[in-house]
Amino acid sequence: MQNVNAEKQSPFATQPVGRLILKFAIPCVMALVVNSLYNIVDQIFIGWGMGYLGNGATNVVFPITIIALAFAVLIGDGGAAYMSLKMGEGDMESVKRGAANSTVMVTVVGVVLMAVFLIFLKPILTLFGATSSTDPLLREYAIQYGYIIGIGLPFTMISTALNAFIRADGSAGFAMFSMLLGAIINTVFDPIFIFACNMGVKGAAIATIMGQIASFIVSVAYIPRFKNFRLDFKSLKLKPRTCGKVLSLGVSSFITQIAITVVMVLFNNLLTNYGALSEYGPDIPMTAMGIVMKVNQIMLSVLVGIAVGAQPIIGYNYGSKNFARVKKAFEISIFAAEAVAIICFFIFQFAPMAVVSLFGSEEGLYNDFAVMSFRIFLMLCPLNGFQTVAAIFLQAIGRPIKSAIVTLARQIVFLIPSAIILPMFIGVSGVLWSGLIADGLAFILALAFILYEIHKLKKLHRMAGGEANKINSTEEISQ
């Protein structure tokens, strides 16, 4: 009876699926894009104020931010998925415990990561691409920028996780406001600190953490306002079973972010080494490709935002066995993600220089390599729409292993070997062609998993319909 009442009261079970996805996807897209824009906004202003060496420095530091974000979404997306499934089942005590345990976990991990990065920043930057072959000024910029960014890691991690819980609670607009506030503060103070105060990369980093702290404050202010439950000290006590389930549901999102870090670190080193053997030199390929990766991250943020916006709808209805709505939510999110990916494809292929020029006024070899990177590396980006939604869909219906495999295949299994092998034969451009190979093979794998799960959904839907008919027949007889 509890489950039935919860379903009657929940908009996840009653409102039109398309309208629900729009309601939750738009704030989610905004939140993820804003998160990605922090570093990109810095890079735009740094590029105009300090040239491509300043941009190269932010590229080297960027994996630190992505690692922190990986742990934030591991706990945040996992906690949100757990909350949605338990709300669908009507188990509100588990919903409260999941949110509380996740909040404690992300806080502890955030503080630990900050300490690790601040203590070991210099060797970490060397590992991430600021090697002896790069310009010494680039490394100095990276150190200045990295120390300040490291201080802000706990704030951005906690606010990212809390935003996922706030969306699962049904307040997607509040989550969007939290992230937008931080982005606006960062954008306003970046040019002030960089140009007016002549603070260079330090100014950009300070503006970034100011925005992150503002988002953190607003997100924390929502905690006593949760609509579906109230946190208490008892629920903060970590339960191994709850923590394990949260982490298992968030592992796909975690792998996505960690894979981005691994790829960026590997690419930075490959582009530096093979670039030094080419006409481009060691710094141009790494810096230009860094722009491509970050712009691609914006596209992926939109795709993930659409998928994550549909996640609570899919998770709730799967938990309440409303499989027709699960299938419809998946189909709508696929259509929306593919539309975005195709638009991006046309921009990357036919107007790449318009994107490159946003990051500063360069010329010659730098522009040539940047344009080539967009056109080759992102040639099959339309396939990313399906693959991204497929991974989140599998996570939402409680298939974390399959979700992780789909994500891991593109970023690790297919991309990394291609990036290592191809440059041995065709030089630095081989790193670019690895993206095309990885996107194509990952799409085929994701399609196979989804066809299998959709077949199962249809079967479950028919079974659920049969049970409903039996119940109706029994009621008629009794009457």
pLDDT confidence tier of residue 468, bands split at 50, 70 and 90: very low
pLDDT confidence tier of residue 132, bands split at 50, 70 and 90: low
* Cβ count within 10 A of residue 15: 12
Average pLDDT in the 173-198 region?
88
Q: Which residues contact 132 (CB under 8 A, 6 or more apart)?
A: none
Q: 103-112, 115-124, 180-189, 357-366: lowest mean pLDDT where?
A: 357-366
Query: For position 473, what pLDDT does the model report?
Result: 41
Query: For position 351, what pLDDT does the model report?
Result: 93
pLDDT confidence tier of residue 470, bands split at 50, 70 and 90: very low
Query: For position 371, what pLDDT does the model report?
Result: 93
Tokens at 399, concatenated: 């298939």
Half-sphere exposure for 474 (CA within 13 Å, toward CB): 6
* CA separation for the pair 72, 43 (Å, rounded): 23
Query: For position 464, what pLDDT does the model report?
Result: 64
Q: 6-20, 145-159, 241-255, 351-365: lowest mean pLDDT where?
A: 6-20
Average pLDDT in the 93-110 region?
90
Query: For position 3, what pLDDT does the model report?
Result: 46
The whole-angstrom distance between residue 257's C-alpha and the CA centroid of its chain comes to: 6
Query: For position 361, what pLDDT does the model report?
Result: 64
Q: Is 321 left (phi over 0), alpha (psi -120 to 50) or beta?
A: left
In the chain, pLDDT over 90 holds for what percent of residues?
34
Q: Are 193 and 199 in contact (CB under 8 A)?
A: yes
Query: For position 2, what pLDDT does the model report?
Result: 43
Whether 469 has a pLDDT exceeding 50, the answer reads no
Whether 169 has a pLDDT exceeding 50, the answer reads yes
pTM above 0.75, yes or no: no
Whether 35 has a pLDDT exceeding 70, the answer reads no
Burial class of residue 164 (count of CB atoms within 10 Å of its CB; 0-12, 13-18, 19+): buried
The chain-wide mean pLDDT, for the chain, equals 85
Average pLDDT in the 8-23 region?
77
Burial class of residue 346 (count of CB atoms within 10 Å of its CB; 0-12, 13-18, 19+): exposed
Average pLDDT in the 431-444 region?
94
Q: What are phi and psi of 104, to 5 degrees?
A: -65, -45
Query: For position 6, what pLDDT does the model report?
Result: 45
* Cβ count within 10 A of residue 381: 24
Query: For position 4, what pLDDT does the model report?
Result: 44
For residue range 413-437, list pLDDT tens digits in order: 899 999 999 999 999 999 999 999 9
For residue range 190-218, list pLDDT tens digits in order: 999 988 888 988 998 999 999 999 999 99
Query: Which is more confident, 268 or 4?
Result: 268
For residue range 237-255, list pLDDT tens digits in order: 888 888 898 888 888 778 7
For residue range 277-311, list pLDDT tens digits in order: 888 888 889 888 888 988 988 898 899 889 988 88
Q: 23-37, 244-258, 385-399: lowest mean pLDDT where?
A: 23-37
For residue range 360-394, list pLDDT tens digits in order: 766 788 889 999 999 999 999 999 999 999 988 99
Average pLDDT in the 77-102 region?
84
Whether 466 has a pLDDT exceeding 60, the answer reads no
Whether 37 has a pLDDT exceeding 90, the answer reads no
Q: Are 201 and 46 in contact (CB under 8 A)?
A: yes
pLDDT confidence tier of residue 92, bands split at 50, 70 and 90: confident
Query: For position 401, what pLDDT does the model report?
Result: 84
**In 397-428, alpha helices (H):** 400-408, 415-426
